[in-house]
Structure 1
Amino acid sequence: MCLAGETTTPLLITLETYEAQLNAQRLAAMGHESVVKQKRKTWMKSSASEQAAAVASELPSEVKSAIKKLHSLAAAGNEDAVFAAAEMELYGKYGTAVSVDAAYTHYAQLAELTGNATAHYMLGFLHGTGLGNVTVDNGRALLHTTLAAVQGHAAAKATLGFRASAGIGTSGACSDALEHYGSVARDAVRFYHEGPPLGRHLPGYRARLSDDRGGVFGVRTGALALHRATTRAAFGELLEAHQHSAAQGSLRAHVTLADLFYHGHRFAPRDFGAARSHVTAVIARLFTRAGGELKAASKAESDAAAQAAGFLGVMCLRGEGADADLGAALRWLTIGARLGHATAMNALGSMYRDGTGVAADPARAAALFKQAAEKRHAGGQVNYALHVMRAQPDEALGLLRLAAESGHVLAHYHLAAVYAAQPGESACRMAVASFRFVAEHADWLHSPLAAAEAAAARGSVETATVLYMQAAEMGYSVGQLNAALLLEHPSNALSSAGHSSLAHVYWTRAANQNVADARTKQGDAYYYGRGGVAQSYERAAAAYKLAARSEANGLAMWSLGWMYENGLGVSKDFHLAKRWYDQSLEANPEGRLAVHASLARLCLRYFWAWAKGEDVGEAPLFFAPRVEKERKEEEEEKQSDHDDDDDGAQPTGVPAGSLGESVFFIVFLLAAAWMFLPFR
């Protein structure tokens, strides 16, 4: 809905100008983390009325006046003012605090006045999550979200698709998920093709906030955890090293930097001008002014020449870093294709297919697409698959599957269309999975992730939480992970307002999407009975087992060891406890102190239980029990020996060597006591 109404335009100009200044100040303040923490600490100790007074006292007089006028217009029923007030209250804009209940009131007012799609979508979101004092009501959430979706609201359709596929408040019918995700995917692909030749660039990297500290539980906590935290400083050092190498004339460094700036990075936004400067530096070294290729002295120079020609051709074709130049694009793409650059082959093929800057030649286009596909270029695989789809459907499907494995959205889209036309639940599920991939990766029209990342970067915790929760409700795993993390943030007012149970919901949903460490967090919630769930050692043990086996999570393994040692949620078993402690150490060597302390305690408890005559299991603590098959084979072999000679037989059911192992264990403990206990 357009906000620039006749009476609201001056107000919004004033407020948006102040918002831009305020965000810049917040970003600058993030460099002084101690100041931010102290302000947060003081803020959280104050009451709601004190917080409101503090906000009002810090606002400039013209901003206060604009906000007051905005509320007056909203109360009078001005649609634009109602919408602006709701957005301000939900996202804490213009220096105000987040006020979910006030936002709900204004969204409800706007939905009643006009049936506005965004208003209905937000009402569905608030009823689905229960933020503020809004009642959780899946029925009303589904109703409002559907009313938004039928008006074409992309985020609402994505939310309905996820709810249908996950069975949240719905029957979980695959056909419903297919309808919603298919609609979002079709709109996304249409928007993709409306961009420059070869389609729009996909949205950038989706940051996981846990990466800033190396994972949810820190670095090296398991096989899937990072070995170091991702920091801007570390990236800056690496970038500086490459820039120094490029300044010294390294062709490889120039090509690497061109690729970095062309595609962008979390800590380096896409910069076509910088990418083009590095490409032209390589061109100047390896080509004549007329575009003739100089004799390459090495394979590295030949590869750099091919990449630079392909890069420059694509940028000339798309008008990136300079105005589009179809003549230059044709020249450089032809050179790149001749040098074996797959991207150049695919781009040149698209020019001949579409007749862009050259006479259309479908046969030559197909030949170029085939060459690119043979080099495993995803775009070439998709284009050649579409060319041969009718004549060679099996080959086309094989190429689409290969391209989909590389993450190409058009490959997923066309695969989904093929699966959707086939009968059966299995084909429907595959179609939904591919349409969902398109919806979540080609999401220019509905994703809140970019705004959420910007809010998190400037320290606006509550705003980032609301935006990540919207992404989570659409099914984004990164949204579920980040929302759960922020809801557990100690300075988050939404968390302190009694919404900690939402964190458990998002950890569970993220775990169901195989997000590393989320299953362990789910187990923690059941173990301690927090996050609004009842304590259940059995459920905690089940969650830890899944995390330990599927993720090799060291913390989950240690937790299982503790539970087996104490008989919590599982039968007490000292041997299994030791096994899980040992595996925890293998998965996470950084936790050796905790594991060694646990093993020492386990040894003492085992010896004490054994001395008291309690059941400590069949196997000695430091000796693994034999596999049942091996034990049966050994018993059969002994039985055969017994038939030949009764003198060497042992009693049935007594594992060989158990007495010697027990004696060894007792001697070991006595020796340890003699070495470490302070005898006087």
Structure 2
Amino acid sequence: MVGLFYSSGISQQVPQDQAKAHLYYTAAAKLGHTRAQMAIGFRHHMGIATPKSCEKAGTYYRSVARKAIDWVNSGPPGGQHWVVEAYHISEEDGGIYGFRASATSSGANAVKVNPNSDANAAIDDVIEYLDLMSKKSDSKASLNLGRIYYEGQRGLERNFDLAKKYFLMVAHQYWKRDGTVIENPPSGLDRLAGKAATYLGRIYLRGEGVDPNFTKARYWIQRGIANGEPQAYYLQGLMYKHGLGVTQDSAIASDRFKYSAERLDYNPSQVEMGKIYLERGSEADVKSALHFFEHAALHNNLEAYYYLGELTYQGIGRDRACNLATHYFKRVAERVEPLTSAWSIANDAFEIGDIDTALVHYLVMAEQGWDAAQINMAYIIDSAKSWLKLPLATSPLPAPSPTFQNHNLAMVYWTRSSMQGNVDATVKVGDYYYYGIGHEKDMVQAGNWYSLAAEHSASAQALWNLGYMHENGMGLKQDFHLAKRYYDMALEVSPEAFLPVTVSLLRLRMRSAWNTMTHGPIHSIEDEPKTSQHKSIREWIKAFMADQPRYYEQYSENMFEETYHEEVAHEVYEESILDTMLLVSIIMLISALIYYRHQRQLDAQRRREANAQGQGQGQHPLNPNQQHAELAPGAGHNPANNPPFAAGFMQPGGQFQNWGAGGVGQ
């Protein structure tokens, strides 16, 4: 706690002193204090009050990750299970800047649900609906209810009795009391029943809400295996691995894990296979272990992260990479919340309105490096929230005590969250410099932070801010053309920014037009250079043929092996050939039609010339009406005056001149 006081300055007894905070954190970490190890590891990782040191950060995070994995494996078969409590309070308001204005709730990241709804009310509504459908014998609804009660979530405690009830409902809809399957089961019920049976086996195997019963566990797990459920193979593998209700047999266990890992892509089984290969120790086995761990990590498996961290940290089976290993260890440490954090205590305090208690716990976890805690801490004490607070758009937060009303403290945690890649926090830091919150205004620094947030076009807010600063020459060079570019980019990133961008562009165009008319010194809006889209037929064919090799080169043999099954690869190749043949056929058809039209026009022209010669040999003079008809458009057109290839196209004054669009043939 002494390190916390010196780091945050919230105590009136000691001033803020990062050097002393670092000293006290280090002392506690060397004594084995888990949360102090995370705090000092984060400081070395980010270079807070000390030079960045991956080696030192990795050492501390590795120590915490080992404790975390030991704690996870100390639980019942399959490891400890807990409800994830970490979350961003700001997301309940649609993000730091509100709904559709924050990077997390706009553009590609736009949430699909109403941000004004309370999370607990939302899950209550889901449960009520699923329960109604379950009473109508909807097996899928019953299975989902069972999983919700079994897994639990923030605001909903686990309830094994209700989970078991709904799993049994699904099982009884598929199996009779004697164990045989009902006649003509509905399509898909076998899969749902297999999942329900596997969960029932898991409950009895782990003793969740009941006494452990390996006989019943084996009975239900075997049913899950009969219906091809991946988790059932994994659980049976655990029973044979540890001799739970069966004779211990590592060969059978390995067989179950391998089938589930390779055939069914079940990530806990992939981790078990990784462990088996790692224990063998040969170079080939280590590579196989890496393969399984990497696949499991794609599914966010905790143990896979730990083993990848160890192998990467020690340089076993791959090149040593300290930063990557530290990243893996940090993820493991932050995932095991019951061991390394006080998220449940902080969230409970926040829910009942005890803001100061919640802030103390968020502050401790923010020091440990949790991005969500840093955001929560800064968001609650932030005094620079939107001036326009619509009651329907955001939920009002209770004000903290004067102890926490500190601009500099908010700035610290906005900055640390930004260092971990939070885009909205980066924009917030820019706002603090722009408005001079807690220190002097600094437009140059504001522009730098906005540029950082806009680096990968992730924040429409940052892009709009840059456009505004360029428009008015605030910290950045005044340039109307650049301002328009940033406004346009903001709209591309987030269509929700249509109104502010449109108003800004209207004002900008008026200013740019006045600047141009008065020969002002500011760079006005210019048309972006455009490449010519017109190509001759020869150029088009040449470009088409040149692009074909590049198109096929992107599909290497390895890509087909990893991404496509053999049948799919043949389908892709065949479709490409068909596309090419279709294109060639269309070109040939168009060419034939043009040639046909050309020949018909030549024939018509010959007939007109023959008729004209025949009439010229006659002795009867033409009356005025006949003269008018002869001089009708196109009747006396001289083909000698046509430009080359003119016969292939419609001539001025032809009989098709009133068509709204061209046509082929006559």
* Fold in common (TM above 0.5): yes
Letter in 1 for 2:461: L
8 A Cα contact 1:225 1:516, kept in partner: no
TM-align CA RMSD: 2.4
Q: Among residues 398, 419, 426, which one is paired with 1:519 in the alignment?
A: 426
SS of 1:324's equivalent in the other structure is: coil
Q: For 2:72 and 2:347, how far apart are their aligned partners in 1?
A: 23
Structure 1 position 387 matched with structure 2 position 276: yes
Q: For 1:545 and 1:183, how far apart are their aligned partners in 2?
A: 37
Q: CA deviation at 1:580?
A: 2.0
User: Mind listing any 5+ residue stretches in structure 1 that lack a counterpart?
Assistant: 1-121, 638-680
Cα–Cα, structure 1 residues 231 and 248, in superposed 2: closer, same or farther, change >3 Å? same
Deviations 1:398-450 (A, max 9, x none): 11012122111111111112122229995222221111111100132230221
Partner of 1:400: 293
Partner of 1:125: 4
Deviations 1:101-129 (A, max 9, x none): xxxxxxxxxxxxxxxxxxxxx00111111
Q: Among residues 138, 145, 156, which one is paired with 1:257 in the alignment?
A: 145
Deviations 1:350-393 (A, max 9, x none): 11011111101111111111111122211011001111223521
Flag the structure with larger Rg: 2
* Bigger share in helix: 1
Q: For 2:219 and 2:456, how far apart are their aligned partners in 1?
A: 51
Partner of 1:499: 406
8 A Cα contact 1:158 1:180, kept in partner: yes
Cα–Cα, structure 1 residues 334 and 511, in superposed 2: closer, same or farther, change >3 Å? same
Alignment of 1:324-473 (within 5 A): 324-374=212-262, 375-389=264-278, 390=280, 391=282, 392-422=285-315, 427-473=321-367
Q: For 2:346 and 2:45, how far apart are their aligned partners in 1?
A: 24
Q: For 2:287 and 2:433, how far apart are their aligned partners in 1?
A: 48
8 A Cα contact 2:337 2:343, kept in partner: no
Letter in 2 for 1:344: A
Q: For 1:440 and 1:277, how far apart are their aligned partners in 2?
A: 33
Q: Among residues 381, 395, 404, which one is paired with 1:487 in the alignment?
A: 381
Partner of 2:124: 236
Q: CA deviation at 1:551?
A: 5.5
8 A Cα contact 2:426 2:450, kept in partner: yes
Q: For 2:493 and 2:204, how far apart are their aligned partners in 1?
A: 49
Q: Among residues 98, 111, 128, which one is paired with 1:226 in the alignment?
A: 111
Partner of 2:460: 554
Q: Higher mean Cα deviation, 351-360 or 231-240?
A: 231-240
Cα–Cα, structure 1 residues 293 and 360, in superposed 2: closer, same or farther, change >3 Å? farther
Q: CA deviation at 1:592?
A: 3.0
Aligned length: 507
Q: For 2:145 and 2:405, how far apart are their aligned partners in 1?
A: 47
Letter in 1 for 2:10: L
Structure 1 position 594 matched with structure 2 position 500: yes
Cα–Cα, structure 1 residues 245 and 576, in superposed 2: closer, same or farther, change >3 Å? same
Q: CA deviation at 1:596?
A: 2.4
Cα–Cα, structure 1 residues 426 and 517, in superposed 2: closer, same or farther, change >3 Å? farther
Letter in 2 for 1:368: R
8 A Cα contact 1:129 1:136, kept in partner: yes
8 A Cα contact 1:203 1:441, kept in partner: no
Alignment of 1:170-189 (within 5 A): 170-189=50-69
Partner of 1:566: 472
Alignment of 1:132-171 (within 5 A): 132-133=11-12, 134-171=14-51
Q: For 2:79 and 2:354, how far apart are their aligned partners in 1?
A: 34
Partner of 2:202: 314
Q: Among residues 456, 469, 486, which one is paired with 1:580 in the alignment?
A: 486
The percent of aligned pairs where both chains have the same amino acid is 33
Partner of 1:93: none
User: Mind listing any 5+ residue stretches in structure 2 that lack a counterpart?
Assistant: 384-396, 540-666
Q: CA deviation at 1:563?
A: 0.8
Deviations 1:251-288 (A, max 9, x none): 11011111111111223222222211110111111112
SS of 1:517's equivalent in the other structure is: helix
Q: For 1:157 and 1:291, how far apart are their aligned partners in 2?
A: 54
SS of 2:290's equivalent in the other structure is: helix
Q: For 1:583 and 1:619, how far apart are their aligned partners in 2?
A: 15
Alignment of 1:518-667 (within 5 A): 518-530=425-437, 532-550=438-456, 552-617=458-523, 619-620=525-526, 623-626=527-530
Instruction: Give the TM-score normalised by the residue count of structure 2.
Output: 0.72
SS of 2:476's equivalent in the other structure is: coil
Q: CA deviation at 1:546?
A: 2.8
Q: For 1:492 and 1:594, how far apart are their aligned partners in 2?
A: 30
Q: For 2:21 and 2:441, how far apart are their aligned partners in 1?
A: 29
Deviations 1:312-370 (A, max 9, x none): 11111011132211111111112212311111111110110111111011111111111
Q: For 2:529 and 2:524, how far apart are their aligned partners in 1?
A: 8
Q: For 1:430 and 1:589, how far apart are their aligned partners in 2?
A: 36
Letter in 2 for 1:600: L
